[in-house]
């Protein structure tokens, strides 16, 4: 199994500012993902973080709004840029074990934008 930590665990931000969320995994993983969970909703995949290359974004999500870095196989960051109240969500980092295809999740970052 993989143990994932995220920083910060929660934050309250002002409209128009940006927040960078960090994700650290205790082992090297090939596949790392960022999800968003809006209040009362299920999880929506934002992007797949690729090590050494640009992230692959899902429909409706763009790099300018959600820039992602993945400098190595154990770490990634997601930035939520130019925030608005609609960005208030839980943001979850996730990794997949390639052998068993089990997906593991971090504890999430709870973001409130005022």
Q: Give residues in contact with other proteins (CB under 8 A).
A: 4, 42-45, 48, 90, 92, 94, 100-108, 110
- Distance, C-alpha 5 to centroid of its chain: 11
Least separation in angstroms between CB 80 and other proteins? 18
Q: Give the shortest CB-4-to-other proteins separation in angstroms.
A: 8
SS3 per residue for the chain: CCCEEEECCEEEECCCCCEEEEEEECCCCCEEEEEEECCCCCEEEEEEECCCCCCEECCCCCCCCCCEEEEECCEEEEEECCCCHHHCEEEEEEEECCCCCCEEECCCEEEEEC
Q: Which of 74/109 has CB closer to other proteins?
A: 109
Closer of 43 and 81 to other proteins (Cβ): 43
Q: Using the minimum distance from each CB to other proteins, give the nearer residue, 81 or 105.
A: 105
Nearer to other proteins, 51 or 81 (CB): 51
CB of 37 to other proteins, least distance (A): 9
Question: What is the nearest approach in angstroms of other proteins to the Cβ of residue 50?
Answer: 14
């Amino acid at each position: 199994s993989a143990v994932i930590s995220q920083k910060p665990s929660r934050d309250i931000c002002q409209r128009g500012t940006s927040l960078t969320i960090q994700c650290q995994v205790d082992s090297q993983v090939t596949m790392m993902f960022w999800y968003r969970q809006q209040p009362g909703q299920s999880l929506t995949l934002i992007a797949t973080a690729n090590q050494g290359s640009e992230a692959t974004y899902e429909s409706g999500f763009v790099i300018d709004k959600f820039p992602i870095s993945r400098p190595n196989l154990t770490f990634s960051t997601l930035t939520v840029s130019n925030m608005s109240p609609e960005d208030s969500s839980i943001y979850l980092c996730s990794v997949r074990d390639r052998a068993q295809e089990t997906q593991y999740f971090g504890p999430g970052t709870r973001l409130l934008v005022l």
